[in-house]
Amino acid sequence: MLDSIPGRFAYNEDHEAFRQSVRSFLEKEAAPHVNAWEEAGIVDKSIWTKAGAVGMLCPTVPEEYGGLGLDFGYNAIVDEELSYGGIPVGFSLQSDIVCDYIVQYGSEEQKKQWLPRLVSGETITAIAMTEPGTGSDLQAVRTTAKKDGNHYVVNGSKTYITNGQNADLILVVAKTDPDAKPAYKGMSIILVESDREGFKRGRNLDKIGQDAGDTSELFFEDVRVPMTNCLGEEGKGFIYLMSQLPQERLSIAIGAQASAQKAFEETISFTKDRKAFAGVVFDFQNTRFVLADLKSKLQVGWAHLDWAIKRHLAKELTAVEGAAAKLWHTELQWEVMDKCLQLHGGAGYMNEYPIARAWRGARVTRIYGGTNEIMKELIGRSL
């Protein structure tokens, strides 16, 4: 259990009480359905409103917009419990990323219209950045939002979009001035409702892991939205995206650390139970040495993660520190997953064992949120 890890210092008693309610909810309402969601390739939308009813969604939203007005530590608790429990629901995207864009940059009208619905789970959101042929280079996006009277006309396509099949509202990164120099000055974020004419969902993409997390192609063909659907100022989209990246990358780091901890604990249990050569796998010196090494690294990881969370709560976490957290914790996650799978032997390659699902799901964390190669580049530029 995450609340039994010694020496943690990021949270107070209120945070930990919240953790208990989150864990209880997930054990009752989510865990029993994970296998069905994995088989279906998508999470049932009903879990969103259930989570909203118990205050799990967007806890940082101010009270005047229907939220609890809490700090990011409550988001972090949800992130930890979701990842530790292996619950493949895209709450973190909504709570840690999308809602903050609207809180920070939305008009009063946009806040009143959307934030209460994000908190309740009535509206599921996605953010559409990545395009076919355009990954981490956001300035190269080709989707456009051209003015036509008092409307934008959005054209383009996006891919690898989390929550894409379920989303009711999509934050679309588009060029409102394709000729702007430098290119980032022509980028804006446009709110597109899923019932707009010309919006189409493509495939629910077939991934090697995180099977229940719907990841989709999205298409925009002459989609007309009012100019009031521009989030914040026109041409400031790239700046907005960059300003929110430390929190996004911290969220990824939190999930990576929590899932690594669960894999480690599962592996201790497995190796103590698995018979081999008239003993158990845990009795082999190699097994204990591997696990001892992982335990030490996880201990360091929790200390660093709590440091980063505290920095972020104090509004001091820098973009470089966020990138470093994402880089280090996702690399640790992969090391833990791979070594733990190895200690499972042939069983580790079987999807019926939790380690197999965890191993497959962990592979993407070094890619999304900016690849780890990009993280190294960002850190390197700061030296």
Catalytic residues: 248
Instruction: Give the CA radius of gyration of the chain.
Output: 21
Spatial distance between the Cα atoms of 364 and 269, rounded to a whole number of angstroms: 26
H helices of 86-233, in order, are 91-92, 99-105, 108-120
Backbone conformation region of residue 56, classed left if phi is above 0, alpha if psi is from -120 to 50, else beta: alpha
Q: Which one, of 189, 193, 178, lies nearest residue 225 by Cα?
A: 193
Helix (H) or strand (E) holding 153: strand 151-162
From residue 29, alpha-carbon distances to 24, 167, 356 in Å are 8, 21, 23
Beta partners for residue 166, in sequence order? none
Ramachandran class of 256: left when φ > 0, alpha when ψ lies in -120 to 50, beta otherwise: alpha
Of 177, 193, 173, give the one whose Cα is nearest residue 185: 177
Question: CA 296, CA 301: separation in Å to the nearest integer?
Answer: 9
Helix (H) or strand (E) holding 201: strand 199-204
Three-state DSSP at 204 gives: strand
Peptide bond into 32 cis (omega under 30): no
